[in-house]
Amino acid sequence: MDVAALSFANVSKVYEGAGSTERYALRNVTFEVDSGQTVAVVGRSGSGKSTLLHLAAGIDVPTRGLVALRGTSLEGLSENGRTRLRRDEVGFIFQLFHLLPHLSVGDNVALPDLIAGVREQVYSARVAALLERVDLLGRVNDPVAELSGGEMQRVAICRALLRRPRLLLADEPTGSLDDDNGGVVMDLMLRMVAEEAATLVYATHSRELAALADRTLHLHSGILETAPAVAG
């Protein structure tokens, strides 16, 4: 059997509260995601969805339990090691886009390669191809601040896919958009993930958007209530 694209084994994330109290953001969460699957994580605000995605990306580390990407446990990696793994294996899409307003559309998409020191001759064709797929190639040299919210999220999707990550994580990717733009962005993201043969895990409070995934995980107060069996 293929190694899971993402696995959590009895993962808890605990924050210290006032005095000696503890607050569980996640409690004993266990699940696996197969390569190529699309998985929605559903829950109310504060249920632990963002924490789960941050742990999956190695942005944060669990208090207890193990997180692994394609069989590589994040536990034994240094912060630099997690950064390299995230750079090479993971793409992340944020609700509020996290674009740099002083850069052009093209430079925002190219940012991961710019940070990695990749030459423009290497990444320019990939940037153009991604922007063409989201109908923004004509805006490549425009300041990203001139775009609409839906257009900004399309740029963010291109940036997340630039380095062909095996795993794409999206935290409420349509949460800042109206229904029409949200639907367009969601359709684009799902189509592009399928074309890239990537694995997608996305957090959403919308059961309608969750229904588009292959599987749905339900979080309530940090506890995974439903973890359907992994498809064979």
**Structural domains in the chain (count):** 1
Whether residue 178 is contained in a domain is answered as yes
Query: Residue 85's pLDDT is what?
Result: 85
* Within a domain: 2: no
Q: Could you tell me if residue 166 is inside a domain? A: yes
pLDDT of residue 19: 65
Within a domain: 112: yes
Sheet order of strands, 22-33 included: 22-33, 6-16, 64-69, 72-73
71: in domain: no
Domain holding 97, by residue range, is: 36-58+78-215
Residue with tokens 């109310």: 44
Its pTM stands at 0.90
Q: Which long-range contacts (CB under 8 A, 24 or more apart) does 207-212 make?
A: 207/42, 209/40, 209/174, 209/182, 210/40, 210/42, 211/40, 212/38, 212/40, 212/186
Per-residue confidence (pLDDT) for residue 232, from 0 to 100:
38
Q: With a cut of 70, which residues of the chain have pLDDT below it?
A: 1, 18-20, 226-232
pLDDT for position 150: 92
- Minimal CA–CA distance to 55: which of 20, 90, 80, 23? 90
* Position 207 in a domain: yes
Q: What is the pLDDT of residue 231?
A: 42
Q: What is the pLDDT of residue 227?
A: 46
CATH number of residue 44's parent domain: 3.40.50.300
Domain presence at residue 226: no
